[in-house]
Structure 1
Amino acid sequence: MHLTLETDYAMRIVFCLAKNQRRMDAASISEEMHVTLRFSLKILGKLAGAGIVNSYKGIKGGYELAHPAEEITLRQVVEAIEGRSYAISRCIVPDGECSRDRWGCCSFQKVWRDISDEVNAHMDRVNFAQLVQEDEALRQGKKQEE
């Protein structure tokens, strides 16, 4: 299973705000992250609703992170957009269904749950300050190679 395009874009939007460390309008975020303005606004609304970003109206309005980038994890963004933690299979989500009618007595459920738990734990350990640092290091390395 993979994360949705909306979640991927949400990650980019939070990354953009973390990297720029300032209030930005939706059009600037959209342009910098190559996400349509309409989709950016939808995502920013969800992120604001989840308390990840703050939104401000008016001429000096825009969006900024609600918390320091060090305190915002990948998992928080996934949950803000997807409405739940990452799950590798539909059979382990609370409202999921088992096509074989073996809920709770299938060996695959344990494996899928263990894998999903590992992915979620890893996403809990990665914050946006780390991603910005890593991005800067990668860009510096690429410049040195040229």
Structure 2
Amino acid sequence: MQLSATTDYGIRIVLYLIKNNEIISSGVLAEQLEIPKTYVLKVTKKLELANIVTSYQGVNGGIGLAGDPAQITLWDVISAVESTTVINKCMEQENEYDVKAEDYCKLRKVYGLLQQAVEDRLQSIKLIDLT
């Protein structure tokens, strides 16, 4: 699995919010993290849908953490932002490839074990420990 630049931005945004522990405007996030504001808005929308961040409207509005920062894992952010988190196409569910996956993907069991190991490890990494 190769993480996208968008996911990198998501991780950086959440780390910044954890470190500063306050509501921060998207403009400030863009400036401080040197991320285009359009990307900040795109990424924070995905993070908001995953209940990692919350957006606040008004004069003192901005982006803040939605819950306890000590509970946010690296996996939470990656799975919120990445379009897919599977390590191989034959691991994807609900597609025509999956119907014959056992025929075409002889390593499915190995990939499954590897997928679970990656997910478990990423779930064990709390972002607060990286700040």
Quote the RMSD (CA, aligned, Å). 1.9
Tell me which residue corresponds to 1:120. Answer: 119
Measure, in 2, the Cα distance between the counterparts of 1:12 and 1:96.
Answer: 32
Q: Which residue of 2 aligns with 1:65?
A: 65
Q: 2:7: which partner in 1?
A: 7
1:38 aligned partner? 38
1:49-128 mapped onto 2 (5 Å cutoff):
49-82=49-82, 86-95=85-94, 98=97, 102-105=100-103, 106-128=105-127
Gaps of 5+ in 2: none
Runs of 4+ residues deviating >4 angstroms: 96-99
Taking structure 1 as reference, are residues 96 and 109 closer, same or farther at Cα in structure 2, changes over 3 Å only?
A: farther
Q: Is the 8 A contact 1:17 1:65 kept in 2?
A: yes
- Taking a change above 3 Å as real, the CA distance of residues 72 and 42 of structure 1, as seen in their structure-2 partners, is same
Question: TM-score with structure 1 length normalisation?
Answer: 0.80
**TM-score when scaled to structure 2?**
0.89
Residue 75 of structure 1 aligns to a residue whose secondary structure is helix
Is residue 90–residue 97 contact of structure 1 (8 Å, CA) maintained in 2?
no
Query: How many aligned residue pairs are there?
Result: 130
Can you list the C-alpha shifts for 1:31-72, whole angstroms capped at 9, x where unaligned? 222210001001111111211101101110001111122111
CA contact (8 A) 1:91 1:97 kept: no
The answer to whether 1:129 aligns with 2:128 is yes
The CA distance in 2 between the partners of 1:96 and 1:111, in whole Å, is 20
CA distance in 2, matches of 1:72, 1:108: 32
Partner SS state of residue 107, structure 1: coil
Deviation at 1:104, TM superposition (A): 2.5
Larger Rg: 1
**Distance (Å, rounded) in 1 between the aligned partners of 2:128 and 2:51:** 17
Q: Tell me if structure 2 keeps the 8 A contact 1:87–1:113.
A: no
